[in-house]
Amino acid sequence: MTLSADELRNRDFSKILLIKLSAVGDVVHTLPVLNKLRRRYPNAQIDWLVTPAIGELLLHHPALSNVIDFPRDTSAPPWAWAALSSYARLAAKLRGGGYDLAIDLHCQSRTAFLAFAAGAPVRIGFDKERPEVWANSRKVTDDFRKHAWQGAREGAWLFYTHRVPLRTMDVHVIDHYQSIGALLGFDSGPTDFSLRIPQAARDRIDSLLRQHNIAGTRPVIIAARGNWETKSWPDEKSAEVARHFLKTGHTVVLVGAPRERAVGENIARLAPGVVDLTGETTLSELAALISRAALCIAHDSGPMHLAVALGRPAVALFGPSDPVWAGPYHRDDAVVRADLPCSPCYLRRLKNCGHAHACMEDLPAQALIARAESILGHALAPADST
């Protein structure tokens, strides 16, 4: 029997499964839900199902009881026997967890099925895509309408006992995620990104900075790439930004995933003097590094969202993705974009862009430098006045 709204708000759940598999930014966006879950259910077991690489960031979170690995083999299609066997083993493991509440914020068929397979009698996710989400929206491109996330996909909503509707596309995804609180009786306190960085990660960053003779500095961090091809900004422009901050006496550190090492090497070649740590840090170590940054410059990417969560100044480059939906939370002044009529589009591959990647190619380095200097100066003003 499905619980009524009043029954759901007043129920004290004891074993909770939270599902958000990836990516880094999406997981950071989910942290406020985790923190409010812990305050709402202080004695509950709260487990998070997430990909192993990103789970490393969550292992030491005080609100979590367990991090459950979602093994994802991208070398095989999801219908291959190896993938199906892996899903079956994971489903059996979740079934043994005895969960009484499952919250699926990934909202795809695979995650909705796992919430169902876990046997939780209450399963919360978003409702299916509905055209009315555009009723009050600003004017957007057809590609944005086609490719932007608008709710549960692939029939996922069929597995949920309670569905949260998306009423507009003009709300940040963090606020959408937190809207489940109306069902569960979350407190009305502020959005809380609390995240514990283990001491081992801080020690590793100390060691790296000592190796490069920049211990004790507050670096300007540049994350030069995002997961999508269409988020790429020319290396020369990233290097121009790096050279500017080197000339003004700042330490500049490049960060990124291991697959981006060639990008880091190229920018380091174009901007002699930068410290290239691309591919050298775990996510916890990246968080430790960002936590001491004077400024973080990044695309719509994990490092940018980590900087916001950690309360560090940030400048965010936006092209194909939407700063209203996924920008730096409550920091509109941090966004730099070309503001073209074809963007946002949410196209991920350059071959699908019919506008010569203008939203990123036409974004001048000087515009980013001016915004960065403004934000950096504002951030330093209180310290300078004491």
Which tens digit of pLDDT belongs to each residue from 136-183? 778 888 999 899 988 889 999 999 999 999 888 899 999 999 999 999
pLDDT at 32 over 50: yes
Angstrom distance (rounded) from CA 30 to CA 18: 9
Please report the pLDDT score of residue 87 as a whole number.
Answer: 80
Q: Which of 89, 162, 92, 116 shows the shortest CA–CA distance to 19? A: 116
pTM of the model: 0.93
Which tens digit of pLDDT belongs to each residue from 238-261? 999 999 999 999 999 999 999 999
Please report the pLDDT score of residue 254 as a whole number.
Answer: 98
With tokens 């009529």, the residue in question is 341
Q: Which of 225, 219, 226 shows the shortest CA–CA distance to 238? A: 225
Using only the alpha carbons of the chain, give its radius of gyration. 21
Angstrom distance (rounded) from CA 24 to CA 223: 13
Write the burial class of residue 247 (CB in 10 Å: 0-12 exposed, 13-18 middle, 19+ buried). exposed
Q: Which of 28, 50, 107, 125 shows the shortest CA–CA distance to 329? A: 28
Angstrom distance (rounded) from CA 318 to CA 327: 8
Contact 101, 120 (CB under 8 A): yes
In this structure, which amino acid lies at residue 100? D
pLDDT at 75 over 50: no
Please give the share of the chain, as a percent, with pLDDT higher than 90. 80
CATH numbers and ranges of domains, the chain: 5-184 (3.40.50.2000), 199-384 (3.40.50.2000)
Which tens digit of pLDDT belongs to each residue from 330-357? 999 999 999 899 999 999 999 999 999 9
Interacting residues of 284 by C-beta distance below 8 A, sequence separation 6+:
56, 57, 59, 60, 197, 198, 200, 201
Put residue 341 in one of left, alpha, beta given phi > 0 → left and psi -120 to 50 → alpha: alpha
Q: Is 19 helix (H, G, I), strand (E, B) or coil?
A: strand
Please report the pLDDT score of residue 77 as a whole number.
Answer: 58
With tokens 């941090």, the residue in question is 334
Contact 82, 88 (CB under 8 A): no
In this structure, what token pair is assigned to residue 28? 């950071």
Please report the pLDDT score of residue 82 as a whole number.
Answer: 64
- What's the whole-number mean pLDDT along residues 259-271? 96
pLDDT at 2 over 90: no
pLDDT at 79 over 80: no
Write the burial class of residue 18 (CB in 10 Å: 0-12 exposed, 13-18 middle, 19+ buried). buried
Angstrom distance (rounded) from CA 295 to CA 36: 28
Q: Is 259 helix (H, G, I), strand (E, B) or coil?
A: helix
Q: Which of 170, 14, 51, 178 shows the shortest CA–CA distance to 105? A: 178
Q: Which of 147, 152, 151, 186 shows the shortest CA–CA distance to 167? A: 151
pLDDT at 81 over 70: no
